[in-house]
Amino acid sequence: MRVMILGGDGYLGWPTAMAFRQAGHEVQAIDNYLRRKIAQETQSDALVPNPLLPERAAVFERVTGGKIEVAIGDCCDFTFLSGELQKFSPDVIVHYAEQPSAPYSMMGYDEASATLSNNLTATFNVIWAVLKHAPACHIIKLGTMGEYGTPNIDIEEGWIEIHHKGRSDKFLFPRQAGSLYHTTKVLDTDLLWFYVRTHGLRVTDLMQGPVYGLSTDEADLDQQLSPNFHYDDIFGTVVNRFLVQAAVDVPLTVYGRGGQTRGYLNLRDTLQCVALAAANPPAAGELRILNQFTETFTVNQLAERVQRVGRKMGLRVDVQNVDNPRKEKEEHYYRPVHHGLLELGLKPRLMSDDVVAAMLGQVLRHRNRIVVERILPRVRWR
């Protein structure tokens, strides 16, 4: 297949580009370095500097012999994106090209406006570029489990049957996102569903939980091919934050009571999920929604796991509850369905103690670069 990766410089985008190329597909990676720019502006740089996208592609080609085409440009520029689609003529577009930070989207008006404008314009442009140049192309858009919120009922896989006053119909599962970033992802889904119904696009919307991990088959070939590892409060996930805190003897900061439950998955499983979605496209006129995670944890459970593993490795790892900077339920019902990807063949890699130890070992090799002030919450929802 000819696979176009939008946001190809990102934590998920770069490993996805490498994995598709290694699998024998033709790959183009597009990025405008928005994430790097925001990280620099907010003093949230990655733990280890990563080469720019053309340099990464050159290292990958030297190590593997596989060429990844690179285009630097903004997906919010329709002329640019439309021109790239016309030239590359993709069979599959993997759309990661969005501002991915919930805390950043809640910092203030400018950050909220930038998130709203970037994320919706990028998705809108993808839709119209596909309609214009590649109407049979399969769009795989990265959604988020955060779209659903934490309802007091089971979370179905994207859709729900409603029985009301003697009649029934099928609707998108109700969304109640907890940040503006997550709300833009809800609006993405609505935009895609409108154009699927109207123009017969084929779309897979992957509702992904938080991803952890630094290791993939391709990234392990050379240090310069590693994905971006952010540990700060803007771009870093709770798993990354706990690993870094354990490495520098800072108590693991649990927000509030720590009962917040989410679905997590290994970076390697993200690559597996996207590949399975691409190899099994939906029909034209179908919006397929897949809940993309492998297991659920509370924040307390994650802290306990990192603490246990860290202490086995000779580290002093304490846990501390701090005031929650976010507006969210700290204890809640959470039971999401996730059978679609398993039915397509997903073989999950679960978060064992060995997996945590391997990640912690990687962090320890770079602990002299850790800036403790970036770990603690700098953004409050209210």
Could you give the residue numbers annotated as active site? 144, 181, 185
CB burial of residue 220 (10 Å; 0-12, 13-18, 19+): exposed
* Distance (Å) of CA 85 to CA 63, 80, 188, 212: 28, 9, 20, 31
Whole-angstrom distance, CA of residue 235 vs CA of residue 382? 19
- Number of H helices and number of E strands within the chain? 12, 14
Closest CA to 378 of 180, 179, 233: 233
Closest CA to 69 of 35, 26, 133: 26
Largest CA distance in the chain: 65
Closest CA to 1 of 22, 27, 19: 27
Write out the H or E segment, with its range, that includes residue 286.
strand 286-292
Q: Which value, to the nearest 10 degrees, does the dihedral of the CA atoms of residues 275, 208, 191, 159 take?
A: 100
Total Cβ atoms within 10 A of residue 167? 7
* Distance (Å) of CA 327 to CA 235, 369, 376: 18, 31, 17
> Any idea what DSSP says for residue 376?
S
Helix axes 299-312, 353-364, angle to 10 degrees: 70
> Which pair of tokens denotes residue 154?
């089971």
